[in-house]
């Protein structure tokens, strides 16, 4: 289990249920009561890795901004799947070399847990319950891993029943952990998708520090599926390296040798993408990384990606493999342009609602018949 070096609690939040749960599980750690703007006022001693240090401090504080936001894939020029995100945690106990949080949270890296989860549920209810005709997908895995801290914090015990009671929204819990025992007794009524981000073991073991090994993630997926949850998989980021094709195709084979494709809500693929400043951080924090050795180019949105012809080749190879292993599983690409959709699937979504509908109404799936495979 994650063990921070200290616990910080915003004054007035000492009795929040999530704080009490964590204090019970980590009774011996030093605790400090601090003001809400503690992090901005702190004089930081010289630190060669402030982001890594931030992960080891656990700060309980209220979220004062909105919880519900649009996923950043809604960037002009990229095909969007109309995904919404809510964050109860900011920063992550795991430490993947490619993680965008290294740049995004560079100025406020302390691992924060928001104490007012009831406000989050109110906010979601206001949006979702007022539009019963619309199907929503909401994920918690944007600013942290959804489950890495859940055995400590217990947020799922509130989230799963809340979403299980609503017919027009799916909750996605996206993770690289295998800590799922506490989910098994909760009733999801098919409204919760527990999904795993996967890379082949050769990458997971060297680039995804502190995560569960590939085989353990799959074992956890099978157990969650057997408990009645929908499951999903994200091959994102797809990393190009000398043996990528064999390794990724084997990984897909292992997935569908382990789980039942009929209970898989979706599989996504997304190319590695790094801003120039994130590349610098990655080089600095992970000098041994293999991420930067592939053939990457600077794209229109200011991010470095594997060059387009190679990306398309990767998507085609893996989606073809997916279609042969699990032809009915919906598939989509994350943060890709319309021209790449056109090359991979033979058609690009007309609008963001098209992708969203392809995932909630599987007969519209993009994965069922790519044109280049006919």
Half-sphere exposure of 49 (CA within 13 A, CB side): 10
Nearer to ligand SF4, 92 or 224 (CB): 92
Rg (CA), the chain: 20
Interface with ligand SF4, residue 92, by CB under 6 A: yes
Is-contact 83 360, C-beta < 8 A? no
Count of C-beta atoms within a 10 Å radius of residue 248:
24
Is-contact 17 25, C-beta < 8 A? no
- Nearest Cα neighbor of 195 from 139, 279, 261, 133 is 139
Nearer to ligand SF4, 135 or 156 (CB): 156
Among 94, 193, 322, 340, interactor with ligand SF4 by CB under 6 A = 94
Nearer to ligand SF4, 95 or 178 (CB): 95
Region of 19-27, 90-98, 116-124, 348-356 interacting with ligand SF4 (CB under 6 A) = 90-98
Q: Work out the angle at residue 159's Cα, subtended by the Cα atoms of residues 181 and 10, and round it to the nearest 5 degrees.
A: 100
Among 9, 84, 89, 99, interactor with ligand SF4 by CB under 6 A = 99
Interface with ligand SF4, residue 112, by CB under 6 A: no
- Count residues near ligand SF4 (CB under 6 A): 9
Among 13, 39, 145, 336, interactor with ligand SF4 by CB under 6 A = 145
Interface with ligand SF4, residue 96, by CB under 6 A: yes
- Could you give the CA distance from residue 102 to residue 51 in angstroms, rounded to a whole number? 7
Region of 96-104, 108-116, 214-222, 281-289 interacting with ligand SF4 (CB under 6 A) = 96-104
Q: Is the peptide bond before 318 cis (omega within 30 degrees of 0)?
A: no
CB 196 → ligand SF4: shortest distance, Å? 11
Nearer to ligand SF4, 13 or 150 (CB): 150
CB 279 → ligand SF4: shortest distance, Å? 16
Is-contact 272 289, C-beta < 8 A? no
- Could you give the CA distance from residue 150 to residue 342 in angstroms, rounded to a whole number? 39
3-state helix, strand, coil in the chain (%, to 5): 40, 20, 40
Among 176, 230, 234, 303, interactor with ligand SF4 by CB under 6 A = 176
Nearer to ligand SF4, 111 or 128 (CB): 111
Sheet arrangement for strand 264-271 = 69-70, 84-85, 136-139, 169-175, 192-197, 230-238, 264-271, 331-333
Nearer to ligand SF4, 201 or 228 (CB): 201
Region of 46-54, 89-97, 275-283, 308-316 interacting with ligand SF4 (CB under 6 A) = 89-97
Q: Return residues touching ligand SF4 (CB under 6 A).
A: 92, 94-96, 99, 101, 144-145, 176
């Amino acid at each position: 289990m994650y063990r921070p070096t200290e616990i910080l609690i915003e004054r007035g939040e000492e009795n929040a249920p999530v704080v009490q749960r964590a204090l019970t599980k980590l009774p011996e750690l030093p605790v400090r009561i601090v003001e809400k703007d503690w992090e901005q006022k702190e004089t930081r001693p010289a630190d060669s890795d402030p982001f890594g240090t931030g992960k080891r401090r656990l700060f309980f504080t209220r979220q004062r901004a909105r919880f519900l936001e649009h996923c950043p894939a809604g960037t002009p020029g990229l095909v969007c799947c109309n995904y919404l995100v809510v964050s109860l945690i900011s920063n992550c106990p795991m430490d993947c070399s490619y993680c965008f949080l290294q740049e995004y949270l560079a100025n406020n890296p302390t691992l924060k847990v928001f104490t007012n989860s009831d406000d989050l549920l109110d906010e979601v209810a206001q949006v979702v319950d007022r539009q019963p005709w619309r199907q929503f997908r909401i994920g918690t895995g944007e600013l942290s891993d959804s489950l890495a801290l859940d055995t400590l914090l217990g947020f799922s015990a509130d989230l799963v029943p809340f979403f299980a009671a609503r017919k027009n929204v799916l909750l996605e819990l996206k993770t690289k952990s295998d800590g799922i025992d506490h989910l098994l007794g909760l009733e999801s009524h098919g409204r919760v998708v527990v999904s795993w981000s996967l890379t082949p073991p050769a990458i997971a073991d060297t680039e995804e520090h502190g995560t569960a090994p590939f085989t353990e993630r799959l074992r956890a997926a099978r157990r969650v599926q057997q408990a009645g949850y929908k499951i999903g998989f994200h091959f994102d980021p797809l990393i190009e390296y000398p043996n990528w094709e064999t390794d990724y195709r084997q990984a897909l084979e292992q997935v569908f040798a382990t789980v039942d494709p009929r209970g898989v809500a979706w599989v996504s693929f997304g190319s590695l993408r790094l801003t120039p400043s994130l590349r610098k951080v990655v080089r600095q924090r992970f000098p041994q990384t293999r991420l930067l050795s592939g053939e990457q180019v600077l794209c229109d949105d200011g991010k470095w990606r594997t060059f387009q012809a190679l990306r398309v080749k990767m998507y085609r190879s893996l989606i073809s493999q997916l279609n042969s292993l699990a032809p009915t599983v919906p598939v989509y690409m994350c943060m890709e342009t319309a021209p790449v959709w056109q090359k991979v699937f033979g058609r690009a979504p007309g609008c963001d609602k098209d992708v969203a509908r392809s995932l909630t109404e599987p007969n519209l799936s993009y994965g069922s018949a790519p044109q280049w495979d006919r």
